[in-house]
Chains A and B, each alone.
Chain A
Amino acid sequence: MSLTLQTLLIFAVAFFAYMHCYFGSTMWNRPIVVSTLVGAVLGDLTTGCMVGAMLELAFLGAVPIGDSNPPDMVSGAVIGTAYVVLQNTDIETAVALAIPVAALVAIFDNFLMMFVLPEAAHMCDRLADKADADKIDLVVRVASIGNKVALALIVALGFYFGIPVIERILASIPEFVIHAMDVVAGILPAIGVAILARNMMSKELAPWLMFGFLTTAYLNVPTFGIALYGIGVAMLFFFRKEEVLEGVDDNEF
């Protein structure tokens, strides 16, 4: 497959991924989906899936709540996965590549959201003065899709020019750093998991975290099993008649 064709396919995947928030915030911009797609278009779906799982865990804490704008997972996942699939390297390499790429593209994305999209907003304000709803329609569509095209272009360009450069950099990295990447890949999920736990935690419900942990640690019940079991417990709570009046439950720690 020629590099040009590959670049076009990479552009298509990146654009599709960024457009998730135009089609219902479906979260198909998450590495688990993006990496699989990159693997599929580059001819190795299985590796794509595996890289996706690893990156997904590395990026677990990256969620767009309120003002916090996380690293740009799409670019990280695309470049990281493409490199692993095309160069046949360890899947851990993807993490080492994805994190800096994601941080870099996030800066560009922030630039769009700080300076370019507000311009579109001001255009809408002016059109609202003229009660021109149809033009606002057009501006919103162009702005919403346009910023995703720009992002996908950056990713495609990075893929086209970047891989040989990235390859040279990686070849010069000493062995202990490569091993460190394996270690990092094992520990990084802890950050995401801890962020999620912190978002949900209250003293009252903390034991459930322990139950989940201990059941998997000692009995090796896979997470899917825990989720099914959890649905049962959640239903029990939801349908339970409140017998005792509860105190304030915002006792976070």
Chain B
Amino acid sequence: MSSNVKKITKKELNQVFLRSCTLDSGWNYERQQHINYCFTMIPVLKKLYSDDDEKMKRALHRHLEFMACTPHIVTLLAGITAAMEEENANNPSFDEQSISAVKTSLMGPMAGFGDSVFWGSLLTIAVGIGTSFASQGSILGPILFFLTINVPGFLSRYYGLKIGYDSGTAFFANMEKSGMINKLSKAATILGLLVVGSMAASQISITIPWVIEINGIVTPIQEYIDWIMPSFLPACAFVLIYWLLGKKIKTTTLLLWTFIVCIILSYFQIL
């Protein structure tokens, strides 16, 4: 290798880390997060291709391609592609196409994993914890909500970049082979489902206002229901909506119908 080997330094990686935070802010229907992904990679590209406009041009176009990934873990991909760009800058026989190929093939599984962890399990857990405090009017609610999402969020963003760059392309294949991803997904899902179950019981509230009168003693029907099973009606509502969602009914439609049904039930004083 020649002495003028181009090398990405900590400085560029730090910039990539900071810039990766903007990933979702330029989202558009055409190529989703692409302008911000390109923005994320620019410090690396400038370091590597500042003396070669032709390579720079191709690299910019490469990173303006379609991008859809979970923002909190996208740095892993950015790290891997940075390592590949570095190799491309130093090795004339490097196949540039492989950068796009790796990017395209990794973003799918990464988004699948990341979305379910961050917008699924973690958000659920954070909402569960946060609302249980906030509904009492406690400021701890939003604070705990914020920490639950962002401590893991920024840790994975930071170490994702490090791991991605250090181990380059071999990384994700290894994770997948050793089954780590599956295990992590599964563990996160168990935690998420426990919390969702708990939320179904504590956050959905439906009570029936009817009363029965036996020998002059007035008992609300709700009391009988609670004897049979507490949170019985919320469970029914949950199962019904879960089932309707499986029928591919849109959320907005469901929202609208909930409104309509509630207004009708309220008019006839059923609920």
**A76 to B: closest C-beta gap in Å:** 12
User: Can you name 26 A-B pairs with beta carbons within 8 Å?
Assistant: A24-B150, A25-B21, A28-B146, A30-B127, A49-B141, A50-B136, A52-B142, A113-B28, A117-B26, A121-B35, A131-B56, A137-B42, A180-B265, A183-B206, A186-B206, A187-B237, A200-B116, A200-B192, A212-B200, A212-B201, A222-B132, A223-B202, A224-B128, A230-B190, A230-B195, A249-B186
B60→A186 contact, CB < 8 A? no
Query: Which of A3-11, A79-87, A157-165, A232-240 is the interface stretch?
Result: A232-240
Considering only residues 16-44 of chain B, those with a C-beta below 8 Å from chain A are 21-31, 34-36, 38-39, 42
A199→B238 contact, CB < 8 A? no
Instruction: Give the distance in Å from the alpha carbon of A131 to the alpha carbon of B51 in the complex.
Output: 11
Q: Take A28-B146, A223-B132 as given contacts and tell me if A121 and B34 are in contact as well, using a CB distance cutoff of 8 Å.
A: yes
**A37 to B: closest C-beta gap in Å:** 8
| Cβ–Cβ < 8 Å partners of A224 in chain B | 128-129, 132-133
Q: Which residue of B lies closest to A225 (CB)?
A: B198
B residues within 8 Å of A by Cβ?
Answer: 21-31, 34-36, 38-39, 42, 45-46, 53-54, 56-57, 60-61, 64, 68, 71-72, 111, 115-116, 118-121, 123-139, 141-142, 145-146, 149-150, 153-154, 157, 179, 182-184, 186-207, 229-231, 234-235, 237-238, 241-242, 245-246, 251-252, 254-255, 258-259, 262-263, 265-267, 269, 271
**A22 to B: closest C-beta gap in Å:** 4
A216→B197 contact, CB < 8 A? yes
Instruction: Give the distance in Å from the alpha carbon of A218 to the alpha carbon of B245 in the complex.
Output: 27
Q: Which residue of A lies closest to B157 (CB)?
A: A24
Residue A140, interface by CB 8 Å: yes
Considering only residues 120-164 of chain A, those with a C-beta below 8 Å from chain B are 120-121, 124-125, 127-131, 133, 136-137, 139-141, 143-145, 147-148
Which 5 A/B pairs are nearest by Cβ-Cβ distance? Answer: A212-B197, A117-B28, A180-B266, A21-B24, A213-B197
B29→A234 contact, CB < 8 A? no
Q: Which residue of A lies closest to B246 (CB)?
A: A198
Interface of A is mostly: helix
Instruction: Give the distance in Å from the alpha carbon of A28 to the alpha carbon of B29 in the complex.
Output: 23
Find the residue from B135, B136, B265 having the highest chain A CB count within 10 A: B135
**A225 to B: closest C-beta gap in Å:** 8
Q: Which residue of B lies closest to A226 (CB)?
A: B198
Residue A169, interface by CB 8 Å: no
A231→B146 contact, CB < 8 A? no
Instruction: Give the distance in Å from the alpha carbon of A220 to the alpha carbon of B184 in the complex.
Output: 29
Instruction: Give the distance in Å from the alpha carbon of A184 to the alpha carbon of B45 in the complex.
Output: 52
Residue A1, interface by CB 8 Å: no
A133 interface neighbour in B60, B134, B153, B254, Cβ under 8 Å: B60
Instruction: Give the distance in Å from the alpha carbon of A242 to the alpha carbon of B187 in the complex.
Output: 13
Interface of B is mostly: helix
B194 interface neighbour in A19, A128, A141, A211, Cβ under 8 Å: A211
A56→B134 contact, CB < 8 A? yes
**A186 to B: closest C-beta gap in Å:** 4
Considering only residues 64-105 of chain A, those with a C-beta below 8 Å from chain B are 64-66, 71, 99, 103
A136→B198 contact, CB < 8 A? no
B123→A32 contact, CB < 8 A? no
**A50 to B: closest C-beta gap in Å:** 5
A223→B129 contact, CB < 8 A? yes
Q: Which residue of A lies closest to B60 (CB)?
A: A128
Q: Take A50-B134, A213-B201 as given contacts and tell me if A64 and B206 are in contact as well, using a CB distance cutoff of 8 Å.
A: no
A118 interface neighbour in B28, B128, B241, Cβ under 8 Å: B28
B190 interface neighbour in A25, A28, A45, A233, Cβ under 8 Å: A233
**B66 to A: closest C-beta gap in Å:** 11
B206→A128 contact, CB < 8 A? no
A190→B27 contact, CB < 8 A? no
| Cβ–Cβ < 8 Å partners of A242 in chain B | 179
Instruction: Give the distance in Å from the alpha carbon of A184 to the alpha carbon of B259 in the complex.
Output: 6
